[in-house]
């Protein structure tokens, strides 16, 4: 899957539109367990450029709508490539929000292997769309 916005070079990060459920709090101390947003916020490495572009349905939709024209091709469709539009992205974000998920638009630096692994494999985190940034 790719989004192309003008010139694309070898990318060192991946962007994701994700859906996640807030994790419960520790029964002993009341501290919330880490979710993807907390993991990005507490990244203190300095050498990883993880970013939160938007959190929440309205903010994510606003970011999607502010993107310049782009071509998004889903290469995982059996019958060939399917062209997706901003309208498809917005509908998918709304669908997950209705199902009770928090949605976010994030960027994860490839040097942060732990965060990439979490985003791709955590049961609590669903990738709505991913693309090179």
Work out the mean pLDDT of the chain and round it to a whole number: 76
Domains of the chain: which residue ranges?
12-132
pTM as predicted: 0.74
pLDDT tens-digit map of 25-45: 777 877 766 678 888 877 655
Query: Residue 66: in which H helix or E strand, if any?
Result: helix 57-66
Long-range contacts of 99-103 (CB under 8 A, 24+ apart): 99/19, 100/21, 101/19, 101/20, 101/21, 101/126, 102/19, 102/20, 102/21, 102/22, 102/37, 102/55, 102/56, 103/17, 103/18, 103/19, 103/55, 103/56, 103/57, 103/60, 103/128
Whether the pLDDT of residue 13 is over 70: the answer is yes
Is the confidence at residue 3, as pLDDT, over 60? no
């Amino acid at each position: 899957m790719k989004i192309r916005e003008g010139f694309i070079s070898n990318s060192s990060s991946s962007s994701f539109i994700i859906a996640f459920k807030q994790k419960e709090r520790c029964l002993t101390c009341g501290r919330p367990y880490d979710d993807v947003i907390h993991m990005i916020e507490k990244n203190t490495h300095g050498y990883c450029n993880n970013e939160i572009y938007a959190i929440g349905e309205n903010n994510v939709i606003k970011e999607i709508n502010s993107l310049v024209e782009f071509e998004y091709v889903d290469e995982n469709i059996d019958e060939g490539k399917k062209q997706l539009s901003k309208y498809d992205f917005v509908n998918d974000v709304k669908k997950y929000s209705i199902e009770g998920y928090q949605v976010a638009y994030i960027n994860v630096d490839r040097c942060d292997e732990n965060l990439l692994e979490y985003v791709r494999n955590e049961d609590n985190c669903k990738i709505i769309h991913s693309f090179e940034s």
